[in-house]
Amino acid sequence: MTSTARARTLWEEGRRPGRDVVSLAVALLVTAAVVDLLLSEGLGLFFDLAFVTVCVGAALGVRPNDFFAVGVLPPLAMFALVVLLAFSDPGAVARADDGLVQATVSGVSHHAVALLLGYAACLALLAVRRQVLRRD
């Protein structure tokens, strides 16, 4: 009896539980924010690039049953991180004298392009993975 096992494609590789992927993604985003704040006065391009990269990695690493957890991750992670920074150090995401709500709105709007690109890439990759897995 011969086995016709074929190698998995990139779209079929993700097998990590959603909880693990989300935890790792949040840890990586917090780390990227801390590193960016150590290198500059506020969140900048380094964080934006890390955000998009983490969104892509999460979409490729999660198992199919947990697509929802990763599908809602980008906006929630961005919002939570910006709220945390707006509360602890408003100057990192907005003007130093802004209140919590204003700093949160400013922070999210300053990183809207990264949020859009990361979220779009995440959803697109999840959709492609879903289609590939349905064919099998």
Kindly write down the DSSP assignment for every residue of 24-91, as one continuous string.
Answer: HHHHHHHHHHHHHHHHSSS--HHHHHHHHHHHHHHHHHB-GGGHHHHHTHHHHHHHHHHHHHHHH-GG
Residue 6 in any domain: the answer is no
* 99 in any annotated domain: yes
Name the pTM for this structure: 0.91
Structural domain includes residue 48: yes
The pLDDT tens digits of the residues spanning 22-68 come to 999 999 999 999 999 999 999 999 999 999 999 999 999 999 999 99
Does 9 have pLDDT greater than 90? no
User: Using an 8 Å Cβ cutoff, are 21 and 66 in contact?
Assistant: yes
pLDDT in tens, 74-118: 999 999 999 999 999 999 999 999 999 999 999 999 999 999 999
5 in a domain, yes or no? no
Q: What pLDDT does 134 receive?
A: 86
**55 within some domain:** yes
Q: Is residue 53 included in any domain, yes or no?
A: yes
Range of the domain at 16: 12-135
Total count of residues recorded for the chain = 136
Q: Classify residue 79: in a domain, yes or no.
A: yes
Query: Has residue 1 been placed in a domain?
Result: no
Query: Domain tally for the chain?
Result: 1
